Structure 1
Amino acid sequence: MSRQVSEVVEKIALPIIEAEGLELVDIEYKKEGTNWFLRVFIDREEKPVDLDDCSRVSERLSEVLDETDPIPGAYILEVSSPGAERPLKKENDFHKAIGKHVHVTTYEPIDGQKVFEGVLKEVDSVSLTVEEKKKTVHIPREKVAKARLAIVF
């Protein structure tokens, strides 16, 4: 159900977000405790997203969601920046992350490992190449469960 809600909300949110000169990064619909949360993550390349950006998108999106009522039941809408550990989902996200530190988890082990962290060296339609401290790993795209930028301390 959460995937269906995310797809419906994406179609509604995308024109609103793009009209503000922003980019839709991710949509998350999940239950935490007794509440459902609809989280919409937005970003922009030239400067960081600020509270005013989030408020404008939230107001406009809330109006349209109230009118169309695509989600059954009550939920809490949150619009925010994806933060420093931005998820990598779209093809362009991966290409922009080349040379940056990433965290990748896979659906199944590759050489006995399901979690990889290192510098993203290369991206193509078949695999991601991540340079970890001691080795370089080629991760098949179909095995990637989640990928995000990672903070290095």
Structure 2
Amino acid sequence: MTQRTGSTGGLPAPSQVIDLLGAEFERAGYEVEDVVVDAAARPPKIVVVADGDTPLNLDTVAELSRAASELLDPVTEASVPYILEVTSPGVDRPLTAPKHFRRAHGRKVELTLAEGSALVGRVAEVDDGVLTVVVRARSDFELRQIKLDDIAKAVVQVDFSSPSKRELELVGQTGRGAD
């Protein structure tokens, strides 16, 4: 969790925000991944980063924001107006835990392995500490298994092209892919 040092200027500390919001976000199927309280901003700002197995959409962000505001407003000083932002981690967040890979199911990822090589593939599954990715082979695609402990760095790649039907089959998704 990100925690700013110094005074929070009438706003709750990040740990208090997590304590206040955690159960409510969990009921909605999300977890509070990070909190930043920026009392130096004008107006002051509380940013809550939420993640879950279901991607956040605008309606969910609005619901979580309303719930967060109801829980946070009573513990802030009445004279301190603040901006509350509920957001998702974003695509630039490194994948560091099994849940991150699970939530990236079907997404294209760039992996840097501990031994120094790199590869790009589509997340098929993660199970028992092993990531299965779909990688391009000579004329087709194949599944490759990599121990999570062997991954030094992993990030989701922004992919504007549709995956092929074969890739979708291998990751266990159906739908219309490119031929």
- TM value normalised by structure 2: 0.49
The structural deviation recorded for 1:23 is: 2.4
Write the distance in 2 (CA, Å) between the matches of 1:120 and 1:151. Answer: 13
Q: Name structure 2 gaps, 5 residues minimum.
A: 5-12, 162-179
Q: 2:109 aligns with which of 82, 103, 107?
A: 103
- 1:58 alignment partner AA: S
For the residue of structure 2 that corresponds to 1:112, the secondary structure is coil
Shift of 1:2: 0.8
User: Match of 2:2?
Assistant: 2
Secondary structure of the residue that 2:128 maps to in structure 1?
coil
Shift of 1:120: 1.7
Unaligned runs of 5+ in 1: none
**Secondary structure of the structure 2 residue equivalent to 1:64:** helix
Equivalent residue for 2:47? 38
Q: Computing the radius of gyration over CA atoms, which structure comes out larger, 1 or 2?
A: 2
- Look up the match of 1:29: 36
Match of 2:116 among 112, 115, 122: 112
**5 Å matches for 1:2-151?**
2=2, 8-19=16-27, 21-24=28-31, 26-29=33-36, 38-41=47-50, 45=54, 49-51=57-59, 53-68=60-75, 76-80=83-87, 85=91, 91-92=98-99, 94-95=101-102, 97-98=104-105, 100-104=106-110, 109-113=113-117, 116-134=119-137, 136=144, 138-141=146-149, 143=151, 145-148=153-156, 150-151=158-159
Q: Distance in 2 between matches of 1:80 and 1:43?
A: 12
Percentage of pairs with the same residue: 21
Q: Mark the CA change 1:38 to 1:48 in structure 2 (over 3 Å): closer, same or farther.
A: closer
Q: What secondary structure sits across from 1:39 in the alignment?
A: strand
